[in-house]
Structure formats: C-alpha cells, structure tokens
Structure 1
Amino acid sequence: MSVYLYRWGKFAFRRKWIVLPVWLLLFVLLGGLGATLAKPMSNDFSMPELPSARANEILDKHFPGMSQQFKFDTVSGTYVIGAPAGQQLTDPANRAAIDAFITKLGELDIVDHKKPLASPLDMTDKMGCLTNPDPSKCSGAPVNVLSKTAPNSVSVLQVPFTIAKVTDVKDEHRDAAYKVAADARNAGLTVEMSGSIAQKQEQPSGKAELIGMGVALVVMMVAFGAVVAAVVPIVTAIVGLGAATSLIMLGTSIMEVPSFTTFLASMIGIALSIDYALFIVSRYKHELTVRDSPEEAAGAALGTAGSAVVFAGLTVIIALGALGIVGVQFLTFMGLGGAIAAAFAVLTAVTLMPALLGAFGKYLFKPKLPLVARHDPEDPTASVTLGQRFARLIGRFPWVALGLSVLVLGALAAPAVNLNLGLPGEDSQPKHSTVRKAYELRTEGFGEGSNGVLMVVADLANVPEGKRDEAVEALRTKLASYSDMDYVTAPQYSESKLGAMLNGVPKAGPNNQVTKDLVAEARGAEASLKADYGIEYGITGTTAIYADVDHVLLSKIVPYLAIVAGAAFVLLILVFRSILVPLTAALGFLLSMAATFGAAVLIFQEGKLGLIDDPQPLVSFLPIMLIGLVFGLAMDYQVFLVTRMREEFVHGKSAKDAMVSGYHHGARVVTAAAIIMISVFGSFMLENDVTAKSFGFALAVGVAIDAFIVRMIIVPALLVIMGKWSWWIPAWLDRILPDIDVEGTKLDKLREPDLLAKQPVNVS
C-alpha cells in the first residue's frame, strides 16, 4: 500500500491543478444535489421484538389504533393546569377560566375536532370524584382529587392534534399551542405543555463546529509554527464534512434518515479530518528534512503517514458500521453517518491533501511564528523536546509509570458501579422550558410516577366468559401489590369485552431504575395468571418502551464490543505485525472505557464539581456509541504513535530506543490531535440538547483518558517492559500475512533513480 500511496502522493502534488478542480466539482455537485433533493429527517426509531411491541399488538387488536400514541414520531400534547396558590381548580373563577380555555382550544386549527374536548373537571365530576372521592374508583381521575396536601389543585388535559408527524411541527404550530392558554394564565392559572408538540427538535447550532475548528487552528499553529500549515487541515475538514453531510442529506430523498445522524457525522467529520490531515502534514514536514525535493517528501509522507491514516480510518469505519448489529434503526443510521464522515476524512487526507501541499509549495511553513515550535521534533538541529524527555522518563521507570496510570484509571472507574441509563424524557428538558415545568407541576399534583404511566392491556379471548371480570380484577390486584406501584386504575373494556386496559402508576419517575425493575417484575406475573385464568397481557407506554430499549441496548454491548475488537485486532496485527501490541492496545481500551464511564457518572450523572446544573441519567444508547467511537479513535492514536516506534525498531534500534525515538517524533502530533478532538467534542456541551451535551462530555473525557494516559503512558511503558517481545509474531503467521508496509520500508528502494525508473507509474 505504501508504494501506491507514494506514487499517488507525488502525482497529486505534481498535478495539483487537475486534482483540486476535480475535488471542487465533486464538492459543488454533492452540495447542490443534497440541498435540492433533501427531505425532512425522521425522529422515529424501530427495534424488533420488544416486549412492549407485543403489548401494542394486543392493544390494537382490541382498541384499534391506540398504539399510535406511543410511536416516537407521533404528535402528542398534554396540558398540565395548576390552580393559584391556596386555591382549587373547582373554585368558580378557576372553573370558568378552564372552560374558556377549552373553548379556545376548540377554535385552534391544529387541534383534532373529531372528538369534542371535555374539561378535566367535568370528566372528574362524571366519575363522581370531586366530592368524597373513592380511591378505588378515582385514582385515574384527570384532577388530583386524592392528594392529601392540595386536592383539586392540578389537572391534566390530553389534546389530539391533526399534525401527522413530529417533523411536520413548525414553530408557529408550537407557539399557537402554547399561546392559546394566554387568557387562562392571565386569569391566574398555571398552564404548561408537555408532549412532542411542545418539544422543539433542535439541530446542532453550528457553534460547536466553529469552536472546534477555532481551537484546532490555534493548536496547529503552535504545532507547526506557521499559519498556512495550520489552515490546510481546516480546508480538508470543511471539504470532507461538507461532502459527507451533503451525501447524508441526499440520502433523505430515498429513505427516512434519523435527525441525529448529522450530529454524529459533524463530530466525527471535523475531528477525524483535522487529525488525519495533521498527521500527514506533520510527516511531510519531517520528510522535507531528509528527502531531495518537496514532491518526494509529499510522496513519502503519503506512503507512510497516509498508510497509517487508511488503517486508522478503517478501525473507525468498522466500529461505527458495526452499530448495525444492535438492531436499532436510528443507531444504524447514526453509525452509517459517522462511517461516511470517517470515510471522507480518509479520502480528503490521502487525495486532496497532497494536492494542497503542492499548491502551497514553499509557503506552507512560512512565515515562521515567533515563540512557538522552537523545539521542533522534525528539526535535526533542535534541542531535546519535552516529548523526548517524557519518553526517557517512562523508559527509565516503566513499572512506576504503568502502576500509577492503572491506579488513576481505577480510581476514575469506581463511580461507574452507579451507572444509571435512560432515554431523554420530559425531565431531561431545560429547566426553563414549558415541558420541564409541566413535568414538575404534574409531579407536584399527582406524584412523580404519574409522568411514567404503564399501560397494561389484557387479552381475554381465552378466558371463560363468566370469569373475565374476575381475571381482570386478579390482574389489577397483583399489579397493585407491588411495593413500587402507587396505584392501578379501574379497567376499561373493549366493545367486544375481549380486551381490557388498565393504567399502572409507579411511585418513582420514568427514568428511575426502580420503575424499570417494576416493569420486568409485573411482566413476570403473566405465567401464573395465565395458568389460573387463561388471561394474557402486556405492558406498554413510553416508560415501558424506554425500559425495553435500555435492556436491549445493554445486552448488545458485549457482542458489539467483541465484533469491533476482533476486527480491529486483525487490522492491527496487519499494521504492527505483532501479537502483543494489538493485545495491549485492546486491554488499554478496556481500562480507558471503565474510567470514562466512571468520570461521566461522577460529573454528568451525579453533578460533582458543579460542571452540570441539572444532573441526569446517561442516555441509554451512549455506552454503545461511546464504545464504538472511542475505540476507533483510540486505535487511531495507537496507529499514529506506535507505527513510528515500530518503524524505528525495524530500522535497527532496540525496543527501548525505538520507543523513545518514536515518541519523540509522534508525541507532538498525537497531543495536538487529542487536544483538537477534546475541543471538538467538548464544545458540544454548549448545545441546548441534553443528548448532545452528554455525548460531547463523555467523548471528550474518553479521548483525554485514552490518549494521554493509555496511549502515551501505559502503552510505551509496556513496550519497554516487554522489550523485543513486543514485536514478536509466529513465523507461520508472518509468512501468510500480506505485507502492507505501513513503515514505508519499500520506499527506500524507490529513492534509487535506477530502480525508480523501472517502476511503472500507475495513478488510477
């Protein structure tokens, strides 16, 4: 591979005014098609064989169409109404304000008027629950009649809307739905909105990308000591990310693409494009000091660093592409979007970069910036660098470096035992939002569990006709007996009397692990009830569906990690021609993952150090995404740093000296690359979306831990400890493995003019 990339690098450097216009044409073409043919993205996701899916089947069998309310792209809306302090909603003035509000809702175009809206007070009155309410009959009333502290002070009103999908909700729809309650608020009532109608689906604002690129520019100016050299990787990042995003948007014209796809692609595209370009430019700078011409230097840089970039990119693409095995549609698309961005990052690095090197020519590293890059590791006349000093220190005390690093990672990993996961719900919305206020008002009036109602649907087809009421009552009694269940409402029967529907209200909130355990426990009682009565039932609703998703995602982590690690292990054997180096790379990743989860729990979930105003459970799909992303990036740094060490070892140095020399050349670029990654990911904490915040935080911490502790301390220490055995490989395996020559040993032969002339130049 190194020979082909070497030849292409020289060709692109020499024929820059052919390569650059081709890339410009491709960029404009993809951008134009993406902008013209793009369609709105989807907010729905599917997952096969969830227990809640079976419950939805029973629900639709006896109550046709009712499961639609639980689809993630369905437009839903609930108004939570609170009385003024010290008053009740049943007070004449408040009742009149609610009636006027209902009338206003009936005039709203986006409200579905097929079924007239009824006041929650009227509904509660018809149930006979406003005076002397019976807990056995009134627990499901839309007014908090059973509250011991402030009865009749809070009510809920579910409103059907005519808007088909969440993606069709516009700002004017959201504003109209909120402002329709203005008169009620002026009358002294508190009226807040929950449901998808009230939640604005925010796309990344672009602030994170700009901040990430700004930090990257400063870091590269320090690394290269020149402005122009720092700008070139930014150019490749813009082109790579722009092309990848355009291709993703183009895909919306033929299929539904989840809205979160572009967020992940932005993260990956910017970070990898800059990192890969940084690695090649850094190697090009070194080759200029040892090669006869800039063209030769460009070819050699692409043949060595470019080969490492290709294989580093492949690990990321494999890690993200393997998300398809999870079986969640939106995760599959997120992984695909990230893989596309990674592929374009590699493509721009190995095809566009050498042409840009040729275009800027001798001006690439001029003018030199004062006070920066004074100790350049690529300058043979420079003094000893900080990286070289640190490598020598590791080489002198490898066991101390290894032990201290493991202790630090162990301490960081300890909080991970308290890991709590959940999908973003209404309690994760910003505190100032109407959705969050509605959640808190409902909690105040009905208890936190009222925000996570469990819908229990029973199929009575196999129950003898005379025993159906008894069977349903036995089910209700069993569900109500659980200590974590607050209450279970009276059953509602279908027209055929073959189906029944009950609502179970937990004591804890929807994202609480206690509630998730309650869902599993309640489902476990079906076998005995079926044996006694023939009744079958299922549990659905947003809370149950989220609990199912959490369970499935966690169960997929081990097989996913096995596939990703196995494929990457094979790739790293090809790159390093070693067994122990890929093994230590994988084991080091496990340490960094444990520490990352611990740090995320400590800061983001428990709110330590005050970095997060509103601590929340980690997003349930974050662990599997974090594993995929950080594994790919970790292998990038492994390849970037350790290939240079192997190169020095192959050229005759001892294992210890090879580590020190490789560290000397690679530490600055890996440090710069990691700082850029951390900045790009960390800047996503500025987004309003809680999922974006948690992703940005966890990824930034993961990269920091893996790059600076695992790759730059633990791995070098192990290379010294293992000595020459670091590079051992069985002879039989060495014979059958293809020689990809990441170190570029074959390039030395091409420097000989007589041998070079015999080599046919093929740039296709």
Structure 2
Amino acid sequence: MAQLLHRLGLGAARRPLLAILAWALALALAIGGFLAFSGTLSTTITIPGTPTSQLTEKLQDEFPEAAHGSGEVVFTTTDGSAFTPQQRREIADVLEDVTAMESVHDTRDPFALEQQRADGEEELTTGRAELKKNKEKISSGEKELETAKEELETSRTELEEAQRTLDAAKEEALEQGAAAGLTQADVDAQFETQQDQLDAGFDELEKGEKEIEKNEKELAEGRKKIKDGEADLETGERTLELTDGYRSVSEDESTAVGAVVFTDPLIDVEADQMKAVSEALEQADVDGVQIHPSQAINATVPSIVGPAEIIGLAVAAVVLIIMLGSFVAAGLPLLNALVGVGVGVSGALAFSSLVQMNSVTPVLGVMLGLAVGIDYALFIINRHRQQLKAGLGVRESIALADGTAGNAVIFAGLTVVIALAALNVTGIPFLGLMGTVGAVCVAVAVLVAVTLTPALLSLIGERALSKKERAARAAGEVHDLHASVSRRPDGSVKTLSTPRAVLTALLATAALVVIALPFGSMRLGLPDGGSQPIGSDSQRAYELMDERFGPGYNGPLVVTADLPAGLDENAATSRQLDIAESIARMPHVEAAVPAAVNEDRSIAMVQVIPETGPNAIETEQLVHELRTTPGPDGEHLDVAGMTSGFIDVSEKLSDALPLYLGLVVGLSLLIMVVVFRSLLVPLIATGGFMLSVFAAMGAVVAVYQWGWLAQVFGVHAPGPVLSFLPTIMIGILFGLAMDYQLFIASGMREAYAHGAPARAAVRMGLRTGRSVVIAAAIIMVSVFGGFIFSHDTMIRPIGFGLTIGILFDAFVVRLLLMPALMHLLGASAWWLPSWLDRILPDVDVEGSQLEREHPTSGSGASAVESDPAGGHRPRRPTPIPARGPADISYLRH
C-alpha cells in the first residue's frame, strides 16, 4: 500500500491540475445529484417493528383518520385575560385559512371543541330533566291506569250482577206466564229495554278495556324509552365524566390548543409544506393573541453549518496556522475538508429521495468530514514540511509523505469507516444509515487526503514552509527529520520515573472513573418541545401547555383494545367506556377519553393524557403498565403515539448498545494485535478507549440529564440523553481513538523494534507523535465543539459528547495514561507468543520499508540540487549520526 501511495502521490504532484480537475468534477456531480434527486429529510426518529410502529400501521388500516399527521397550535392572550368573542372568531378564521392549504386535511378549532363539550353538558342536563319529566308522566299514567282498571273491574262486576238479576227476572216471568202462553220472545221483548241498557254497558266496558290495553302498551313503550334514555344518559354521563379532565381551552380561558391535521403522515409531509403552514400561523394577525405552532409543526431540517460551526472552523484555522507557520499551508487542510464534505454529504443527500434519511444524518457527515478531513490532510502536510526542511525535493517529499503518512491515514480512516459501518449490525435502519453516510464521508476524506493534498502541495511548492523556513532551506540548512529527545549526559534517553508513572496512571484512571460515574444513571430518550431554544414557538407552545393544561398534554397516548366479535353499537360503546374507566383509575393518568370504535366494532380507541411529561419516568412506567395490564374483561391493550414511540426507540437503542460495544471492543483488540504485534498494548489501547468513552458519556449525563453547568452549555431543560448518542459516540470515538493510538504507539514500536530499550522507546515515540496528536485533537475539538451551540437539540449533545470524548481520549488516555502504563510494563508490553507472531500478517502501517528505500535526511546545502518542480532534492542520503543502540533512524516524526 505504501508503494502504491508513493506512486499515487508522485503522479498527483507531477500532474496536479488533473487531480484537481477530477475532484472538481466529482464535487460538481455530487452537487448536481443533490439538486436533481434529493428528497425530504425526516425530522422524526422511528424504528420499524417496535410495538408503537406496529400499532400505528394497524391504526392506519382500521382508523383511516389516524393516518393523518397532526400538530398542536397554542393560542394565548398577550395580557393573560380571557379570549373575547372577536378573538375567538378571528382564531377560527385563521384556522379556516390554514384548512384551505394544499397539505392540510382539516383543522380543529379549540373553541368549537369546547362548545361541543358545553353542548354535551347542556344536552345531558336537558336529558336528565326530560327523563325526570317522563318518569313522572309514566308514574302518573300508571296510577291513572290502575284507577281506571279498578273502576272498570267494578263496573264489570256491577254489570255482571245486573245481568244475572235480569236473567233471573226473565226466567221467573217465563215460568209465571207459561200458563198464559207467554214465549221466550215475549219475555225478551218485555225486558228488551233493560237488556239493551246492559248491553250498552258491556259495550262501554269493552271499549274501556281496549283503551286500557292501549294505555298499557303506551306505558310499556314509555318505560322502554325511559330505560333507553337512562342507558343513553348513563353513557353520556360516563363519557362526560371521563372527558372532565380533558380541555382545549384553559380554565382561565386565556390559552387554547387547536390542531392542524395534515393530508399525509407527518413523516411524509414535505419540509416546504410544513414550513408554509408554520409561517401562515406565525404571520396571522389576531389582535391581542400570540400564536405558537408546536414542535410537530415547527420541526424543520437543521441547517448543516451555522455561526457556531464557522467559529469552530476559524479556531481550527488558527491552530493550523500556529502549527504549520504558513497561511498557504494552513489553508490546504481546510480546502481538502470542504471538498471532501461537499462530495460526501451532497452525494449522500442525492439518495435521500430513495431512502428515508433523518435530518441529523447529513449534519453528522459534515461533522466527521470536516474533522477527519482536516486532520488527515494535516498528517500528510506536516510530514511533507518536515521532509522539505530535511532537504528533500518538493515532488519526492510529496510522494514520500503520501506513502508514509498517507499509509497511516488509510489505516486510520479504515478503522473509523469500519466502526461506523458496523452500526448496521444493530438492526436499526436510521442508525445504520447514519453510520453508512458517516463512513462514506470519512472514506471520501481519506481519498481527498491522499490524492488532492499532493496535487495542492505541488502547486504551492516551497510555500508549504514559512518565509524563515524557506530562507533556511535556501541557505542549505538541513533539519533533522527525526525529533530529538531529552538525553542524559551519557547519551541515553531520559525516561519517565517509575513513581511518576504510577501516580500518572492512578490519577488519570481515577479521574476518568469519577467522571464516568453519572453514566450509571443514564436514561435514554428523544428531545421534546421543552428542550427547544428558549423563546422559540416550539418551546413556548410546550411551556404553555404544561402550565395551563398539565405536562401530560405534551405527550398524549393512544390506547387500543381488541373487542369480542358480534357486539352491537351500544355494547361496543359500553365496552369502550369500561376500558376507558379502567385506564382512568391507573396511576399517573390524568384523563382517558373514548376516541373511536372501528367500523366492524372489533377495536376500541382511547386517548390517554398522562399526569407527567413525555420524558418523565412515570410516563414510561405508565406505557409499560398499559401494555401488560389487561382490560376489565381481559382485553389486550396496545399503546401508540409520539411518546410511546420515543420510549420504544430508546429501549431498542439501549438493547443494541451492549452488542455494538462488544463488537467494537473485539474489533479494537484484533486491529491492535495485528498492527502492534503485541497482546498487552491492545489491552491498554482498548481499556483506555473504554475509560474515555464512559467518562464522556458520564459528562453528557451530568450536563444534559442532571443539568450541571447547564447555563454554560445552553441546557435549559435537562432530560434523558439523546437515545442514539451513546451508540454514535462509541463508533466515532473508537475510530478516532485508534487513530491517536496509532500515531503515538507506532513510534514507540518502531523505536523498540530498532533496538531502543522499552522505556526509552516509550519516551521517544511519545516525543515524535504527541505534537501531531495534540494538533489533531485540538482541531477535532474545535470542529465538534462548534456544534455544541447549534440551534438543533439533537445536534448539541452529539457535538458535546464527541468534543469531551476527544479531550479525554487524546489528552488523558493517549498522552498520559497509555505512556505511563507502557513505561510500567517495560519490555513485557511487546510480548507476543511466537506461534501468533508467525501467523499474523506484517502490516507496515507507517510505511517504514518505504522510508528505508527513500531516506529523508540531507547534509546541508551541498546535499541538494535543483529540482524541476522548483524545490530541492538531495544528491545522496546522509545518515543520522549514530547515538548508540537507542538511535532510531527510521523513527517517524
């Protein structure tokens, strides 16, 4: 690889315009692809297969209205007074105008909702009065009917007695008139008048019985209506009681919460459509009323580079100028990084229309691309400058720097790429895509460093050096490429004292362990509206809902229950109320409002308002309790909603963290064994990485979860740690930690392999590698630190975690702890079983063989001659004067 890079660097140095043109074309193609094919970035974090996502898909089929994304809008009076009728009308007009927008399906007027609730209460009051009146009427009718029945029975008895008396008189008259020849007809004619009167009485009695029968039916129907009315009234009362804790207008009537319902799910709403709705609400003019769209409506794609990030780049530029001593040379790493970021991020965004990409993904690519792009170019440029000062010609120095430092850059970049690409093994799509995009940006940065950097160095020639350095070179002064180390009078290298090494190791370890302690209480979550910048619409909307309605209004839950088959409408409604009442009795539930029953009455939906906010521990406990507690009749309950989605994502990421950490640790040990041909050095390197990453996570918990130094870092609403931050931190810090380990420990190994005593080799390797590691770490910290004050709540903790992680790993682990432990171990640090030594591949990471073939030292002005590239090159290599067995002529600076 070193020979290949040597030829590649030499070719780029000879034909710089070709290399520059190639990267200009790549940049143009990437930007063109972005402009032509880029899609909408998602502002939500979702993971397929979680309970929330599964239920959401089910709801979209069973409740079509649930497929529409929605977001709240908070209206509040400026003076805290109740809304006037005029203000209510104007708010309704504003929502009506928003409803007419293309991306909006509907809006919900808070005052109309409140009026519906008031109408419902009035209907119940009227219903109670009507029911009472009907009951009294039925009761009176029943009494009248009973009296009529008694009177009718008395009349029947009297008529029947009169009929019996008349019949007896007829029989007596027939017997007495038999002698006179009277017949039955004569007798009937004699009593016809009385019989007619009795028949008329019986007819009246029959009519009365029919009337009573009719009245009985009417009373039965009345009783049934009363029973139905009682059932309806009971349903209404139960529903009203359940909705008593749910309001759309605050009790003091100074704040109201409406909603905008989009045509598509929130994840599919175009960014410009969302922005148009947000602007329409913000620009609406209602006298005496402030309008605050919530986070769901205001969720916009974060800007990739802002003022804070530019300041970070400016700090990196200052570091480069100080280290390189030349404005021209200092500008090259920045230019390389910008080209790499442009190609990598623009190219990745060109595929955003094909894959769902989170808005944080390109920002992460920018962070990594800038940081490693600057550092990798710096490694090569620094090596080139040292070789120029040692007397090499420009082109040969470029080629050699590309073959040696470039070879180390390839390996360092490969470790970062592997660590980031390994995020795909977590099985979490958005996290795997983040890793993939980050890996692509790092890979592009490596390619830019080993191809574009040589071309640019060729164009600037000796201007890579400062004026003073160029004057010294022109005067024939030859700088020793290999840095000197402090020596004793006898010429031996001064080493670290053993007591100091013990104290350094103990203090460094203790400090990192103490800082890591908060990690034990880490909770994972996603930022809510309360963590948005103070004064923003999202933050104000969240705050107002919390204060005027309750914290649970910012994180409602959707709960569903499976109903048995064959229920009629009333039975299904009754079951739904039973379920809602059962949920309302659970701890940490503010309200449980019946929402809907699907068309075939197989699923009931209930909206639940928790007592606590979306990121509270109690809300998380409530979600788990809902999922594990059956309904009153054994119904299985499912939970969905943004809050439960956040909880599911965090738990999924938490479960994946140990697997990924184990993979990274195993990968670290394997890589280090191959590179350093040792068993203990990899353990030191990996152990140091574990200490630094856990300490960084502890610092994140202390600041963003506990609120320590909150004002310094702009954290006004401490809460759970960003759910995917620990995994991202492990991947990125692992790759960068291996970079620093390489640039420090490889010098130690080279010195030891060429005869230096083990402890002297530690001092020599530290001396040669620390300057470039310090500069690289400061640049990393400058770039990542610029994102700590980003306006986006998900970017800020990422920037902080990576910044503090780099500080701990570079300055505490690699420059203090690792050298101290290496000193204490002595020669045993490089022990490797012979059988393992035979099977391990020989990885020449530093390009030592290439260095031996192309010596880099000269002996002054007489050792150089004119070079076509405008620089100088040595006529013959002059070896470094011998310094005893500890002298290392191939030691990398």
* 1:522 corresponding residue in structure 2: 626
- The AA in structure 2 aligned to 1:78 is E
* 2:152 corresponding residue in structure 1: none
Indicate the SS of the match to 1:607: coil
Distance 1:143 1:474 in 2: 18
Structure 1: gaps of 5 or more residues: 371-375, 757-764
> Are the structure 2 counterparts of residues 104 and 28 from structure 1 closer, same or farther at C-alpha, using a change threshold of 3 Å?
closer
Distance 2:718 2:398 in 1: 49
Indicate the SS of the match to 1:503: strand
Give the alignment partner of residue 586 of structure 1, picking from 662, 686, 698: 686
Distance 2:392 2:366 in 1: 39
Indicate the SS of the match to 2:794: helix
Q: Is the 8 A contact 1:319 1:631 kept in 2?
A: yes
- The AA in structure 2 aligned to 1:77 is G
Q: Which deviates further from its counterpart, 492-501 or 8-17?
A: 8-17
Give the alignment partner of residue 73 of structure 2, picking from 57, 68, 79: 79
> Are the structure 2 counterparts of residues 671 and 34 from structure 1 closer, same or farther at C-alpha, using a change threshold of 3 Å?
same
In the alignment, structure 1 residue 272 sits paired with structure 2 residue 263? no
* 1:558 corresponding residue in structure 2: 658
In the alignment, structure 1 residue 502 sits paired with structure 2 residue 614? no
Distance 1:221 1:113 in 2: 53
Distance 1:570 1:85 in 2: 66
Distance 1:596 1:627 in 2: 10
Give the alignment partner of residue 260 of structure 2, picking from 159, 163, 170: 159
* 2:116 corresponding residue in structure 1: 123
> Are the structure 2 counterparts of residues 59 and 655 from structure 1 closer, same or farther at C-alpha, using a change threshold of 3 Å?
same
Deviation at 1:393, TM superposition (A): 4.4
Give the alignment partner of residue 616 of structure 2, picking from 512, 520, 535: 512
Q: Is the 8 A contact 2:304 2:363 kept in 1?
A: yes
Distance 2:295 2:313 in 1: 36
Q: Is the 8 A contact 1:459 1:535 kept in 2?
A: yes
Deviation at 1:723, TM superposition (A): 1.4
Deviation at 1:410, TM superposition (A): 1.7
Q: Which deviates further from its counterpart, 734-743 or 399-408?
A: 734-743
Distance 1:177 1:130 in 2: 34
Give the alignment partner of residue 713 of structure 2, picking from 612, 618, 627: 612
- The AA in structure 1 aligned to 2:759 is K
Distance 1:405 1:670 in 2: 18
> Are the structure 2 counterparts of residues 693 and 547 from structure 1 closer, same or farther at C-alpha, using a change threshold of 3 Å?
same
In the alignment, structure 1 residue 107 sits paired with structure 2 residue 210? no
In the alignment, structure 1 residue 678 sits paired with structure 2 residue 668? no
CA-to-partner distance for each residue in 1:514-549, whole Å, 9 max, x for gaps? 2112211221113xx5xx845222100110111100
Deviation at 1:728, TM superposition (A): 2.0
CA-to-partner distance for each residue in 1:263-314, whole Å, 9 max, x for gaps? 0111000100111111122223333455754444333333332222111111
User: Quick one: percent identity of the two aligned structures?
Assistant: 34
> Are the structure 2 counterparts of residues 78 and 394 from structure 1 closer, same or farther at C-alpha, using a change threshold of 3 Å?
farther
Deviation at 1:19, TM superposition (A): 3.0
In the alignment, structure 1 residue 38 sits paired with structure 2 residue 38? yes
Indicate the SS of the match to 2:358: coil
Deviation at 1:480, TM superposition (A): 3.0
Distance 2:494 2:405 in 1: 21
> Are the structure 2 counterparts of residues 49 and 691 from structure 1 closer, same or farther at C-alpha, using a change threshold of 3 Å?
same
Distance 1:405 1:129 in 2: 72
Q: Which deviates further from its counterpart, 490-499 or 213-222?
A: 490-499
- The AA in structure 1 aligned to 2:809 is D
Give the alignment partner of residue 168 of structure 1, picking from 255, 261, 272: 272
In the alignment, structure 1 residue 652 sits paired with structure 2 residue 652? no
Q: Is the 8 A contact 1:144 1:154 kept in 2?
A: no
CA-to-partner distance for each residue in 1:139-196, whole Å, 9 max, x for gaps? 536964998xx4555432223245761423264432212333x22xx1x445432253
Give the alignment partner of residue 549 of structure 1, picking from 649, 653, 666: 649
Within 5 Å, give how 1:313-332 maps onto structure 2. Answer: 313-332=413-432
Q: Is the 8 A contact 1:143 1:154 kept in 2?
A: no
Deviation at 1:746, TM superposition (A): 2.0
Q: Which deviates further from its counterpart, 293-302 or 463-472?
A: 463-472
Deviation at 1:95, TM superposition (A): 3.8
> Are the structure 2 counterparts of residues 145 and 553 from structure 1 closer, same or farther at C-alpha, using a change threshold of 3 Å?
closer
Indicate the SS of the match to 1:219: helix
Give the TM-score, by structure 1 length.
0.87
Q: Is the 8 A contact 1:677 1:700 kept in 2?
A: yes
Number of equivalences: 726
Give the alignment partner of residue 340 of structure 1, picking from 440, 458, 463: 440
* 1:759 corresponding residue in structure 2: none
CA-to-partner distance for each residue in 1:198-250, whole Å, 9 max, x for gaps? 33333223434432332122112222223232222122112211221231133
If you compute each CA radius of gyration, which structure gives the higher value, 1 or 2? 2
* 2:177 corresponding residue in structure 1: none
Distance 2:529 2:105 in 1: 28
Indicate the SS of the match to 2:543: helix
Structure 2: gaps of 5 or more residues: 126-235, 471-477, 488-492, 856-873, 878-893
- The AA in structure 2 aligned to 1:616 is P
Deviation at 1:85, TM superposition (A): 6.1
* 2:205 corresponding residue in structure 1: none
Deviation at 1:98, TM superposition (A): 1.4
Distance 2:390 2:479 in 1: 13
Give the alignment partner of residue 500 of structure 2, picking from 359, 375, 397: 397
Distance 1:640 1:272 in 2: 14
* 1:198 corresponding residue in structure 2: 298
- The AA in structure 1 aligned to 2:47 is M
CA-to-partner distance for each residue in 1:553-575, whole Å, 9 max, x for gaps? 11110111222232333222222
Deviation at 1:455, TM superposition (A): 0.8
CA-to-partner distance for each residue in 1:568-616, whole Å, 9 max, x for gaps? 3322222212222222211111111221112112223333233134133
Q: Is the 8 A contact 1:48 1:327 kept in 2?
A: no
Deviation at 1:114, TM superposition (A): 6.5
> Are the structure 2 counterparts of residues 250 and 377 from structure 1 closer, same or farther at C-alpha, using a change threshold of 3 Å?
farther
Q: Is the 8 A contact 1:223 1:672 kept in 2?
A: yes
In the alignment, structure 1 residue 417 sits paired with structure 2 residue 517? no
Within 5 Å, give how 1:228-627 maps onto structure 2. Answer: 228-252=328-352, 254-288=354-388, 292-368=392-468, 392-393=495-496, 397-461=500-564, 472=576, 475-490=579-594, 492-526=596-630, 529=631, 533=633, 535-609=635-709, 610-613=711-714, 614-617=716-719, 618-627=721-730
Distance 1:333 1:742 in 2: 29
- The AA in structure 1 aligned to 2:75 is I
> Are the structure 2 counterparts of residues 544 and 145 from structure 1 closer, same or farther at C-alpha, using a change threshold of 3 Å?
closer
Give the TM-score, by structure 2 length.
0.75
